[in-house]
Amino acid sequence: LSRGLGDVYKRQPYDLLVDSDGMNGDDGFHERILLAVPQSSPLAARTSLRLNDLRGQEFISVMGNRRFREQCSQLCQQSGFMPQYAYECTGPSTVRNLISLGCGVGFWPEYTWGAPGEGIRLLPIDDARCVRRIVLRCDASGDIRPLAEEFRAALQDELQLLASKTVSYTHLRAHETGR
């Protein structure tokens, strides 16, 4: 957990917490972090890239208080540069629209944001750290109310279904474009 958030979790009672905390540990749902680029970008011709290749790019991202944004900024910093944010948005649909219009590039979670749509190419990043993990945490006591348990089970099923669909989409798109 990020510094400080663990303390909040300890103080606040909860039945179930959905959290995204990078790639520490083996449990949870894992998804690669990809780079979404406009089809018009010279980067769109690439088959993959390294984080360092993104130095100097203008990024489109969700606002800074989101866990995903924090993780992506840290990945850039660990690669020796600070990402330059051209736009910060409230959600993935706006990120998608601005990237497709050629306003910049952005990090894209492989499963949870769905397919990026027309005008955008997803590129794998050659860095094992470009993974995020979504975990479902129960209260430290282990007690969970029946409704929270139903939600946990439904969310796990949905994430697994989403992963199987998106993996097929990513594989097919690579095959369609010959990349």
Q: Over the stretch 21-72, which tens digit does the pLDDT of each residue have? A: 544 444 567 889 999 999 999 999 999 999 999 999 999 999 866 788 999 9
Predicted pLDDT of residue 160: 77
From residue 120, give the alpha-carbon distance in Å to each of 78, 141, 155, 168: 26, 45, 28, 17
**Alpha-carbon torsion (173, 97, 35, 155), positive or negative:** negative
Below-50 pLDDT ranges, the chain = 1-12, 14, 22-26, 167-179
Going by C-alpha positions, the residue among 110, 107, 136, 126 that lies closest to residue 35 is 107
